[in-house]
Amino acid sequence: MVLDILGVIRRLFSLSSYNLTFQLIILNLIILFLGLVFLSYFNFNLIQNNNFIDNRDQSIRLNLSNITKYLENTSILRVPIFQYDYRCRYLQDIETYNESCASADNTKPIELSEPELEKFTTEQFIFQNFGDKDFNTVIYNENWIKIADSSNLFLSTDVEEIDLSENRENIVDFSNFFERIYINNFNHINNYILANKYNKNLDKNVHEIILIIDTIKEKQQLIKTFKDENNDITRILTSPIIQDNKVYGVVLIKYKLLLNNNELARQSLNFFNFFLLFIVVTILLSFIFLRGLITPLKQLTKITVLERDKTNKKKLIYPLRSDEIGILSNQIQLMSNELKSQINQLEKFSSDVAHELKNPLTAIKSSIELLTSKNITKENRSKLMNNFNKDIDRMNKLISDISHFSKTIAEIEIENFELTNVNKFIEENFGEESTNKKNIKILLQIDNNKNLVLLNKDKFLQVILNLIDNSISIAKNNSNILITSNKKNENCVEIKIYDQGKGIDFKEKNKIFDRFYTDRIVDRDQHSGLGLSISHEIINSFNGSIELTESDKLDFRGACFLIKLPLKSQNNHKGIQS
């Protein structure tokens, strides 16, 4: 039960259980998922490794130092105690202030104060240089009184004209809309990640006045990071304004630590656009590839159905390609042609068998008809009985050889091949002196090469024995049979079998391998003519060839059979027994 469940699960999660289109969709989704994981990892590292906050913090600290130095050098002054309008010291040359500043109260100071942080010059400096910054600059005097604040300054009276029609077009523009959405979401995620980073080290109970008091007391810069009333992470930097070791005021800069980093967001957007382009191109190419894959496969499927149903009378056109599908198409075509050839051979074989069996059956029928005749003599009756027995024996021989032939052909298709050293194989089976009724010796001439051939040993031995038996049957007593094996080239080994018999008419060289063909005159009824045909089929299964050839040995002028077999490399057939 458990194994059945596991089998069902494997089938469900195996891509091969689904069609190619679904497989490609699944693979594209996997690629998309992995791409999104990589994109998320890239953005996370982009945020973690970005120095935007540190660089901004360093810049603000530099501004703090510059403000402090400037105020220390220019804004610590002695001012008239009873002057009505303190601005007359700076604005009396301006026409607007001429009349008010010309009064005695404003032109005749009575007494100057002790050095202090002068309000007007401080405000003017902050107004001119830090009114448009992304941080708030506040100046306190030594009595904790705020004398300048960049957030309260009136910065501009300019009127900006906005083209509403152009604005509408921008809103409709999808690319701009998508960019805004992406940048907003990126900044939201960016701020969330960084907030988690800075939340661990926040200061508590931070108040500006207390921080001013501590700065004056300690006479050094202080830094505090905390969450303000809007729950935004805020940082305050303070620096004392010191002259002659006396604190005259404090410069305070306050700013939000986390701001929208649009430049970083656009970097992420560019990478995201590249990722989208990559995914779209990948999907398009994969479906183009799938179309080029499925179309020929469907064509091959249709061809196999037509071949099986035998409903198509036209010539079937197989896909012509150079890739693996083309190889598959060629192999299917070869298999189909081979199957048709085997069917044709089977039909021809059946016709040959019927013809060969029909002859003795006709003879037997004629003999029976004559035997039943009253006019036949005893001598003729005896001859008919002998012919009758010969025909029956011939039929038995034919049936036995036909059965052997069919079995051999079937075995050729299913038996395994081995990488075999044919020289060693021949020596092992025919090297010792063999005995036979005619006292015919078998001689060997084998070269020293290791000729490796992929074949079935039993069937190869059957071929050699069949050729030797044929030679023995027609050779004279005390003659010889010669077997040679020589490597012709790097791709082929030649094996020749010579005898010293009367030989075979060379005009019949193509007929002798036909089924049921025999050129024997003596003992014709004892040979069905299937032996050489079986040998031919076996050698063909080894991708080799067998033929009758002229003898090149003066001492062996009888029949000479040449067997050519393809050589194989042992490196390409590791693990196959030799």
The domain boundary residue, chosen from 360, 392, 414: 414
Q: Is residue 13 part of a domain?
A: no
First-to-last C-alpha distance (Å) of the chain = 44
Across-strand partners of 561? 497, 548
* Whether residue 445 is found in the same domain as residue 483: yes
Q: Give which of 415, 390, 405 is closest to 514, Cα–Cα.
A: 405
Q: Is residue 345 part of a domain?
A: yes
* Whether residue 407 is found in the same domain as residue 435: no
Per this entry, what is the length of the chain?
A: 578
Q: What is the pTM of this model?
A: 0.51
In sequence order, what are the residues at sequence separation of 6 or more whose Cβ sits closer than 8 angstroms to the Cβ of residue 248? 72, 76, 115, 116, 117, 141, 142, 241, 242
CA dihedral 451, 457, 459, 461 (to 10 degrees): 80
Q: Is residue 295 part of a domain?
A: no
- The amino acid at 79: V
The domain total for the chain is 3
Query: In this structure, how many other beta carbons lie within 10 angstroms of the beta carbon of residue 101?
Result: 21
* Whether residue 378 is found in the same domain as residue 444: no
Whether 501 and 474 have beta carbons less than 8 Å apart is answered as yes
Query: In this structure, how many other beta carbons lie within 10 angstroms of the beta carbon of residue 186?
Result: 23
The domain boundary residue, chosen from 380, 414, 448: 414
Residue with tokens 């999907």: 283
Res 575: pLDDT: 43
Whether 275 and 39 have beta carbons less than 8 Å apart is answered as yes
The domain boundary residue, chosen from 379, 414, 449: 414
- Name the residue range of residue 173's domain: 33-152+167-266
Cα separation, 549 vs 530, in Å, equals 20
409-441 pLDDT, tens per residue? 666 666 778 888 999 988 888 876 666 777 888
Whether 150 and 136 have beta carbons less than 8 Å apart is answered as yes
Low-confidence ranges of the chain (pLDDT < 70): 1-16, 80-112, 153-172, 310-314, 349, 351-353, 355-357, 359, 374, 397-398, 401, 404-405, 409-414, 432-435, 519-529, 570-578
Q: Tokens representing 339? A: 């199957």
Whether 412 and 541 have beta carbons less than 8 Å apart is answered as yes
Sign for the pseudo-dihedral over CA of 487, 493, 494, 497: positive
In sequence order, what are the residues at sequence separation of 6 or more whose Cβ sits closer than 8 angstroms to the Cβ of residue 17? 11
Sign for the pseudo-dihedral over CA of 280, 285, 290, 291: positive
* Whether residue 44 is found in the same domain as residue 178: yes
Could you tell me the CATH number of the domain that includes residue 237? 3.30.450.20
Give the DSSP letter of residue 508: G
Query: Torsion-angle region of residue 320: left (phi > 0), alpha (psi -120 to 50) or beta?
Result: beta
Cα separation, 560 vs 476, in Å, equals 16
Whether 392 and 416 have beta carbons less than 8 Å apart is answered as no
* Whether residue 210 is found in the same domain as residue 61: yes
348-394 pLDDT, tens per residue? 767 666 766 676 777 777 777 777 776 777 777 777 777 777 777 77
Whether 376 and 539 have beta carbons less than 8 Å apart is answered as no
Ramachandran angles phi, psi of 268, nearest 5° = -65, -40
Q: Is residue 491 part of a domain?
A: yes
